[in-house]
């Protein structure tokens, strides 16, 4: 720890109530603490358990600013309403800042909290955006909201996907972003919350800097693109953000405690050969429809693979009766929160059926497993595109909302094939996995992190 970093105090503001947004920002906080900075994290009492392990490890340099969750108006779009409601924290944060003996020199906030750019300028501190999405996903989101008025004017009420030919993004990715038409129509209805959401999302582009949870070998072309878009170099790619000690560790408690005793699962995995198990999980938000679950379980029965299937305890779809008995010995079912990171990093796991949330995408690639993509909303399509078409480390198994159902026989074939030793996707993903380890140990991500800490400590 140098003298300059030990005096540097940062404010970190994750987007509340969403594991996929909070987990990586807590891991970033850990890296800042390891470099000797002092950090205050703005957190709600519901999300506090995610921060507690780190609070216990850094009692003198990590602090929490507990804010109560503001009421969300029931009339607005759920996500937009939640984003807008966070603005009610503006005044309480100003008051906290003014009464602090050594207030922070900068705020690092989730990209949904773009209003904090105005807060930062009022307080006279730097504003840094944290993107829980990859750079490709982020630039598509940004392009959409920057051009939404024009997109609407061109396309009227047509339901087709107007963005297909739109974004001026390198490699011009095409993707069916199913939410877009609905959002565009809601925006047209003149809802003020949508206009605020748009304004604050775009304000992120004028921030002092942006931190991405990605790395050069994965998204170098998009990182360069964003530097051009923003007109400066204060774009830092510091990922993959994972729990570290002196390298990534296979944490069993990342994002929550496992619903079952990890020992039982790992004893089962230990008995399997290398790369002989498919891990299937759809993140913290997505639940399969009844039809999708039925096709998936049917495919698993038709296939020969060993598998771990993770299903939400509160999900609308259920495992068909008798399924567990029919796959006994080769199938392990987890009903609730799985220790995903540790599972992916186990030598027996060879492929991953994923909804392509950005954290799962990075965790799978960093663990070197073949990716079987099944995106259903938001940036998940962009992530699947990156994995399959641009990096060549995965294959598509399905995509789209609850009505998109894979053919069980074809899915069974893809599951079997995904465990073959010599498929090119596996060879490529192992290389990207090695590149990830190198990037965070002493490569580009470690250098970007050092550069960020140096610049922010000089203020
Ligand atoms: N996760 C987990 N166990 C589960 C489900 C999810 O550990 O049963 C973790 C996963 O490892 C990842 C995060 O929760 O770190 C999910 O983030 P992601 O961006 O993949 O998807 P989201 O949940 O935001 O859709």
CA 106, CA 293: separation in Å to the nearest integer?
Answer: 46
- Same domain for 221 and 273, yes or no, is no
- Same domain for 89 and 195, yes or no, is yes
Q: Is residue 444 part of a domain?
A: no
Average pLDDT, the chain: 87
Task: Give the residue whose CA is nearest to atom 21 of ligand 1.
Answer: 357
Nearest atom within ligand 1 for CA of residue 18: 24
Contact indicator for 430, 392 with CB cutoff of 8 Å: no
Nearest atom within ligand 1 for CA of residue 259: 8
pLDDT for res 154:
59
Residue 3 pLDDT grade (very low, low, confident, very high; cuts 50, 70, 90): low
Torsion over CA: 120, 121, 127, 133 (sign): positive
- Same domain for 321 and 219, yes or no, is no
9-13/106-110 β-pairing: parallel
Residue 26 pLDDT grade (very low, low, confident, very high; cuts 50, 70, 90): very high
Pocket test for ligand 1, best of 24, 288, 360 (most atoms within 8 A of CB): 360
CA 299, CA 410: separation in Å to the nearest integer?
Answer: 8
Task: Give the residue whose CA is nearest to atom 11 of ligand 1.
Answer: 340
CA 43, CA 21: separation in Å to the nearest integer?
Answer: 12
CA 320, CA 297: separation in Å to the nearest integer?
Answer: 8
Q: Assign residue 427 the CATH number of its domain.
A: 3.40.50.2000
pLDDT for res 161:
45
Cα-based distances in Å from 153 to 188, 198, 389, 421: 10, 17, 31, 51
pLDDT for res 5:
62
Residue 211 pLDDT grade (very low, low, confident, very high; cuts 50, 70, 90): very high
Nearest atom within ligand 1 for CA of residue 339: 7
CA of 144 to the centre of ligand 1 (A): 25
Q: Is residue 148 part of a domain?
A: yes
Pocket test for ligand 1, best of 18, 359, 371, 379 (most atoms within 8 A of CB): 359
Q: Which residues contact 415 (CB under 8 A, 6 or more apart)?
A: 278, 299, 300, 303, 305, 307, 351, 353, 372
Rg (CA), the chain: 22
pLDDT for res 256:
72
Residue 151 pLDDT grade (very low, low, confident, very high; cuts 50, 70, 90): low
What's the whole-number mean pLDDT along residues 429-436? 97
| Nearest residue to 293 via CA among 319, 258, 315 | 319
ipTM score for this prediction: 0.99
Residue 334 backbone phi and psi in degrees, to 5: -115, 120
CA of 362 to the centre of ligand 1 (A): 11
- Same domain for 69 and 192, yes or no, is yes
238 or 244: which carries more pLDDT confidence? 238
Pocket test for ligand 1, best of 21, 287, 314, 340 (most atoms within 8 A of CB): 340
pLDDT for res 175:
41
pLDDT for res 139:
84
Give the range among 27-31, 158-162, 284-288, 392-396 with minimum mean pLDDT: 158-162
- Same domain for 202 and 100, yes or no, is yes
Task: Give the residue whose CA is nearest to atom 6 of ligand 1.
Answer: 283
Residue 67 pLDDT grade (very low, low, confident, very high; cuts 50, 70, 90): confident
| Nearest residue to 129 via CA among 183, 77, 81, 200 | 200
Position 174 pLDDT exceeds 50: no
Task: Give the residue whose CA is nearest to atom 15 of ligand 1.
Answer: 359
pLDDT for res 225:
87
- Same domain for 154 and 9, yes or no, is yes
Q: Is residue 457 part of a domain?
A: no
pLDDT for res 6:
63
Q: Is residue 389 part of a domain?
A: yes
Is residue 137 exposed (0-12), middle (13-18) or buried (19+ Cβ within 10 Å)? Answer: buried
Helix (H, G, I), strand (E, B) or coil at 177: coil
CA of 19 to the centre of ligand 1 (A): 7
- Same domain for 227 and 299, yes or no, is no
Contact indicator for 211, 129 with CB cutoff of 8 Å: yes
Position 155 pLDDT exceeds 90: no
Contact indicator for 167, 147 with CB cutoff of 8 Å: no
Q: Which residues contact 294 (CB under 8 A, 6 or more apart)?
A: 320
Contact indicator for 449, 1 with CB cutoff of 8 Å: no
38-43/126-131 β-pairing: unpaired
Position 98 pLDDT exceeds 90: yes
Nearest atom within ligand 1 for CA of residue 358: 19
| Nearest residue to 401 via CA among 430, 438, 362, 375 | 375
Q: In the listed set 222, 237, 252, which residue is the last one of a domain according to the structure?
A: 237
Where would I find the H helices in 372-423? 380-385, 408-418
CA of 39 to the centre of ligand 1 (A): 24
Q: In the listed set 237, 252, 274, which residue is the last one of a domain according to the structure?
A: 237
Where would I find the H helices in 147-191? 148-155, 180-188
Q: Which residue has the tokens 């038709």?
A: 302
Nearest atom within ligand 1 for CA of residue 338: 8
Q: Is residue 450 part of a domain?
A: no
Tokens at 237, concatenated: 């790619």
Tokens at 102, concatenated: 């050594």
Position 444 pLDDT exceeds 70: yes
pLDDT for res 285:
86
CA of 218 to the centre of ligand 1 (A): 20
Residue 127 backbone phi and psi in degrees, to 5: -115, 125
Q: Is residue 447 part of a domain?
A: no
339-383: pLDDT as tens digits: 999 999 999 999 999 999 999 999 999 999 999 999 988 788 889
pLDDT for res 187:
64
CA of 351 to the centre of ligand 1 (A): 16
Nearest atom within ligand 1 for CA of residue 337: 8
- Same domain for 220 and 275, yes or no, is no
pLDDT for res 163:
46
- Same domain for 61 and 100, yes or no, is yes
CA of 215 to the centre of ligand 1 (A): 19
185 or 342: which carries more pLDDT confidence? 342
Contact indicator for 355, 376 with CB cutoff of 8 Å: yes
What's the whole-number mean pLDDT along residues 166-187? 48
Helix (H, G, I), strand (E, B) or coil at 131: strand
pTM score of the predicted model = 0.92
Q: Is residue 245 part of a domain?
A: no
CA of 285 to the centre of ligand 1 (A): 8
Burial call 14-26: b when 16+ CB within 10 Å, e when fewer: bbbebbbbbbbbb
Query: Which residues have C-beta atoms less than 6 Å from ligand 1?
Result: 19-20, 23, 254-255, 281, 283-285, 310, 337-338, 340-341, 357-360, 363
- Same domain for 219 and 275, yes or no, is no
Pocket test for ligand 1, best of 284, 333, 361 (most atoms within 8 A of CB): 284
Residue 263 pLDDT grade (very low, low, confident, very high; cuts 50, 70, 90): confident
Contact indicator for 34, 450 with CB cutoff of 8 Å: no
- In the chain, the number of structural domains is 2
100-129: pLDDT as tens digits: 999 999 999 999 999 999 999 999 999 999
Tokens at 129, concatenated: 């955006």
pLDDT for res 10:
98
Nearest atom within ligand 1 for CA of residue 361: 20
- Same domain for 220 and 356, yes or no, is no
| Nearest residue to 130 via CA among 459, 452, 458, 454 | 452
Domain span holding position 375: 262-437
Q: Is residue 456 part of a domain?
A: no
Residue 149 pLDDT grade (very low, low, confident, very high; cuts 50, 70, 90): low
CA 354, CA 276: separation in Å to the nearest integer?
Answer: 17
- Enumerate the active-site residues: 21, 110
- Same domain for 100 and 207, yes or no, is yes
Contact indicator for 236, 451 with CB cutoff of 8 Å: yes
Residue 188 pLDDT grade (very low, low, confident, very high; cuts 50, 70, 90): low
403 or 133: which carries more pLDDT confidence? 133
What's the whole-number mean pLDDT along residues 256-270? 85
% of the chain at pLDDT higher than 90 = 64
What's the whole-number mean pLDDT along residues 310-337? 87
406-432: pLDDT as tens digits: 999 999 999 999 999 889 999 999 999
Q: Which residue has the tokens 């607005």?
A: 76
Task: Give the residue whose CA is nearest to atom 5 of ligand 1.
Answer: 283
């Amino acid at each position: 720890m140098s003298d300059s970093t030990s005096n540097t105090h940062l404010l970190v503001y994750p987007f509340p109530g969403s594991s996929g947004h909070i987990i990586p920002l807590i891991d970033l906080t850990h890296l800042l603490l390891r470099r000797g900075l002092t950090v205050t994290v703005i957190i709600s009492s519901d999300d506090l358990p995610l921060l507690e392990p780190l609070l216990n490890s850094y009692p003198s340099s990590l602090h929490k600013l507990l804010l109560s969750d503001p009421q969300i108006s029931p009339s607005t779009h759920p996500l937009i309403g939640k984003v807008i409601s966070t603005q009610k924290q503006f005044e309480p944060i100003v008051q906290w800042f003014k009464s602090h003996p050594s207030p922070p020199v900068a705020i690092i906030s989730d990209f949904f909290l773009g209003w904090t750019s105005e807060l930062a300028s009022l307080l006279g501190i730097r504003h840094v955006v944290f993107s829980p999405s990859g750079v490709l996903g982020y630039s598509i989101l940004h392009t959409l909201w920057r051009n939404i008025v024009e997109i609407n004017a061109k396309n009227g009420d047509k339901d087709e996907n107007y963005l297909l030919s739109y974004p001026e993004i390198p490699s011009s990715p095409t993707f069916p972003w199913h939410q877009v038409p609905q959002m565009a129509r809601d925006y047209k209805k003149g809802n003020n919350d949508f206009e605020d959401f748009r304004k604050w999302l775009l304000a992120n582009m004028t921030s002092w800097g942006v931190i991405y949870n990605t790395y050069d070998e994965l998204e170098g072309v998009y990182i360069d693109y964003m530097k051009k878009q923003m007109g400066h170099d204060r774009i830092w790619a510091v990922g993959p953000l994972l729990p570290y000690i002196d390298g990534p560790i296979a944490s069993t408690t990342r994002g929550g405690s496992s619903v079952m005793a990890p020992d039982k699962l790992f004893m089962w995995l230990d008995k399997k050969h290398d790369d002989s198990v498919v891990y299937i999980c759809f993140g913290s938000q997505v639940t399969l429809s009844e039809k999708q679950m039925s096709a998936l379980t049917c495919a698993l029965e038709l296939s020969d693979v060993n598998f771990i299937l993770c299903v939400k305890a509160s999900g609308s779809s259920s495992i068909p009766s008798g399924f567990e008995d029919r796959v006994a010995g080769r199938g392990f079912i987890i009903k609730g929160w799985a220790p995903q990171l540790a599972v992916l990093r186990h030598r027996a796991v060879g492929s991953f059926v994923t909804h392509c949330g950005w954290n799962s995408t990075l965790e799978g690639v960093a663990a070197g497993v073949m990716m079987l993509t099944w995106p259903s909303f938001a940036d998940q399509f962009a992530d699947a595109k990156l994995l399959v078409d641009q990096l060549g480390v995965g294959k598509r198994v399905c995509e789209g909302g609850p009505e998109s159902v894979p053919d069980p026989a074809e899915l069974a074939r893809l599951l079997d094939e995904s465990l073959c030793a010599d498929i090119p996707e596996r060879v490529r993903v192992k290389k990207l996995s090695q590149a990830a380890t190198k990037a965070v140990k002493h490569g580009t991500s470690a250098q970007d992190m050092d550069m960020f800490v140096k610049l922010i400590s000089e203020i």
